Amino acid sequence: MAPRPFRLGRARTGLGLFATRPIKKRRRIAEYKGPRLNVKDAEREEARGNRYLFEVNSRWTIDGKARSNIARYFNHACRPNSDSTIRGGRVFIYTLRNIKPGEELTFDYGTDYLKNVIGKSNCRCPTCRRRKAKRARELREARKRRELRLARAKKTARKAASKTTSKSVAKTRATKRKPTSR
């Protein structure tokens, strides 16, 4: 593999990998490296809170927790620009589309990881942030519409009330005036 086309940098969720030059679609950009664990050892690691376990098949899991495994810094995204593939028991990350310099490189960790580790509503990938922002905007707009409706209703109620009071004032005046007119 040629020198890495990406660098480690600050991402929204900690560290992440960012393209340093344009990368073509379907390029292998990294290998997910680490010791191979059997099912028993993988389960033990998982129980210890190791979040860098990559299941290769029903027998083997790669433990990618070592910092030397650059691929551990790929962040999850629900609509990623990269993906993983298993070839001969090794795990490679490749791009799904052309990538511009500066773009964060992501792949989909899978529904299990999203549900159990990140938490479905805690995902901060661009897709989820956009979805949440849209939802917040809709809620804000709905609240504004409700407030406007309420203000309008109040205004009409006030108008109606002032009409009845002026009428009753006129009436009282009229009744008061009556005796003096005699």
Binding site for Zn ion (CB under 5 A): 78, 123, 125, 128
CB-CB contact of 32 with 71 (8 Å):
yes
Q: Which is nearer to Zn ion, 17 or 128 (CB)?
A: 128
CB of 138 to Zn ion, least distance (A): 19
CB of 90 to Zn ion, least distance (A): 27
CB of 137 to Zn ion, least distance (A): 18
Q: Which is nearer to Zn ion, 113 or 159 (CB)?
A: 113
Q: Which is nearer to Zn ion, 56 or 78 (CB)?
A: 78
CB-CB contact of 64 with 89 (8 Å):
no
Extended beta strands in the chain, E state: 6-11, 14-19, 28-32, 36-38, 53-55, 60-63, 75-76, 82-87, 90-95, 104-107
